[in-house]
Amino acid sequence: MTKYGPNEADANSGSTYTAEFLRVKGLAERGVANAQHSLGFMYFNGQGVTQSYELAVIWYRQAAQSGLEHAQYNLGVMYQKGQGVEQNFEEAAAWYRKAAEQGYAAAQYNLGWLYAKGQGVPNDTQEAMHWFSRAAEQGDAGAQNNLGMMYDTGKGVPQDFKQAIFWYRKAAEQGYARAQFNLGLRYDNGQGVPQDVGQALSWYRKAADQGYAPAQFNLGLRFDKGDGIAQDSQKAILWYRRAAEQDHASSQFNLGLIYDNGQGVPRDEQKALDWYRKAAEQGHAAAQNNLGLRYDHGQGVEQDYEQAQFWYRKAAEQGFPGAQYHLGLLYDAGHGVVIDHQEAIFWYRKAADQGHLRAQFDLGLRYETGRGVPRDYRKAMGWYRRAAEQDYAAAQYALGLLFDNDEGPQPDVMQANHWYGKAAEQGHTQAQFALGLRYDNGQGVPRNYEQAHHWYLQAASQGHARAQFNLGLMYLTGQGVRADVSQAWMWLTMAERAGFNAALRYLKTAAGRMDPSQLAQARARMEVLPG
């Protein structure tokens, strides 16, 4: 950050500077350079006279032309900020250089910044480094911090974490908050120093106590997650709030999450919404996405698809994959926008290319069904596989089905069973049933009724009617399990209630094998089952 120094001085309210102004003005008009600078300073701050940046510039210029370095510096500041003159970075650089060459540290620092940004001078990291170094060697904390950052990032010099730490520490020990924060980060990451959470927290707190928002956010995050420190929601909220009140967007977003989830505070949708909005209006993509979700689903606000589309788009254009996916859904459904399947696919692909599982799955489904794109099983397989390899169960099952399809691009029973198994282990009901069927029939695996029973039971317990029917038959016939007519009757009844009509015939068979007391007990058990 550019440093602006001597212009911004003490203005002792209530004091009168009139007599001093008249004395200084007399000396300035006689050509005394220090008096000319002081007169410029008085006009700048309105001390003893009506404030006037234009007159401040006139007197600074006279003193600067006499070679007074602090006047040259202040004139540079006026040109850089456009105060009393039209903003002109070339003029700012020229006056900073005059003061810098006389050893004026603040001018050296600001000239370094202009070279770092390419404002009024060519973008030149070597020159930036040169001027930061000269100011840093004089003890300028801002320059020391910037020098540390250049070593940290390898910008203009070979990357050197130890040198970065050296300069950060120099500035931090002078109380420079940004350097304290940067030093905390290095201890956090173990770059240039042994990793030390205690040291990281100590330096964060020093910066946070000075009001440095990123350090306050990091402290909030530590207390929020209990990372290296005892988890404490109240302290997390305290530090987040301090940063959020300085418009730190990530802190505002995290406060929104805390109120959304009721973490350490009563759940409050309105406060969550307010903090999301504050962060979203600053361009925080995740907050924009969450605000879009609120309008999309009418959560805490009246449902408004146009507002949902507005906020999703803001986040999507920043590359936020969740918002890209949800924007695609709006185009698919025509909510807040005209139905446009091609636009939906465009946004799904944007999200899918970043690894968004649902977007990858939905693209696979598009190519499998030919909805909005030419049907292409190979492309469907490709998108399903990308999601499946990230353990997305629906994609694993869909991939299994494609390998199971004799008319698909590459039928492969072994691959089908592999992907069914992956999905089944995650609790995917249809995959559990499919795997049970494979073991039941010995399709791609050795026939194994015990395994068939295991997977049917998993699916049946989740309400899969055909799994319930098959499980009932196994208990009725004693296939893979010990025959149990009561269990058979129960599972067949559940299948029939779920609408699997073929169960009725076998249900009568099971009931015919039960005595009245068995049937009464089975019915009593069924009464307490859900559904």
* Cα–Cα distance, 478 to 383 (Å, whole number): 42
Give me the number of domains the chain comprises: 2
Other Cβ atoms within 10 Å of 227 Cβ, number:
13
Per-residue pLDDT of the chain (531 residues; tens, 9 = 90+): 455 556 654 444 434 568 888 999 999 999 999 999 999 999 999 988 999 999 999 999 999 999 999 999 999 999 999 999 999 999 999 999 999 999 999 999 999 999 999 999 999 999 999 999 999 999 999 999 999 999 999 988 899 999 999 999 999 999 999 999 999 999 999 999 999 999 999 999 999 999 999 999 999 999 999 988 899 999 999 999 999 999 999 999 999 999 999 988 899 999 999 999 999 999 999 999 999 999 999 999 999 999 999 999 999 999 999 999 999 999 999 999 999 999 999 999 999 999 999 999 999 999 999 988 999 999 999 999 999 999 999 999 999 999 998 776 788 999 999 999 999 999 999 999 999 999 999 988 999 999 999 999 999 999 999 999 999 999 999 998 999 999 999 999 999 999 999 999 999 999 988 888 888 888 888 776 655
Residue 506 lies in a domain: yes
Q: Give the pLDDT confidence score for residue 1 in this predicted structure.
A: 45
Residue 226 lies in a domain: no
Residue 498's alpha-carbon distances to 281, 434, 452, 464, 475, in angstroms, are: 49, 18, 21, 8, 19
* Domain boundary, last residue among 85, 108, 138: 138
Query: Under 8 Å CB-to-CB from 356, ≥6 apart: which residues?
Result: 321, 322, 324, 325
Kind plus residue range of the DSSP H or E element containing 366: helix 357-369
Q: Which domain holds residue 63?
A: 22-138
Residue 486 lies in a domain: yes
Q: Give the pLDDT confidence score for residue 87 in this predicted structure.
A: 97
Q: Give the pLDDT confidence score for residue 17 in this predicted structure.
A: 64
* Domain boundary, last residue among 106, 138, 170: 138
Residue 410 lies in a domain: no
Q: Give the pLDDT confidence score for residue 227 in this predicted structure.
A: 82
Residue 476 lies in a domain: yes
* Domain boundary, last residue among 138, 157, 182: 138
Residue 308 lies in a domain: no
Which residue has 């399990």 as its token pair?
Answer: 481
* Cα–Cα distance, 169 to 177 (Å, whole number): 11
Q: Give me 292's structure tokens.
A: 């879009």
Positive or negative: CA dihedral 224, 227, 229, 231: positive
Half-sphere exposure of 109 (CA within 13 A, CB side): 23
Q: Give the pLDDT confidence score for residue 13 in this predicted structure.
A: 42
* Cα–Cα distance, 167 to 146 (Å, whole number): 8
Rg (CA), the chain: 36
Q: Give the pLDDT confidence score for residue 528 in this predicted structure.
A: 60
Q: Taking a C-beta distance cutoff of 8 angstroms, is the pair 134, 140 a contact?
A: no
Residue 106 lies in a domain: yes
Q: Give me 239's structure tokens.
A: 């530090």
Residue 298 lies in a domain: no
Q: Taking a C-beta distance cutoff of 8 angstroms, is the pair 72, 95 a contact?
A: yes
Q: What is the CATH number of the domain that holds 134?
A: 1.25.40.10
Q: Give me 510's structure tokens.
A: 């099971």
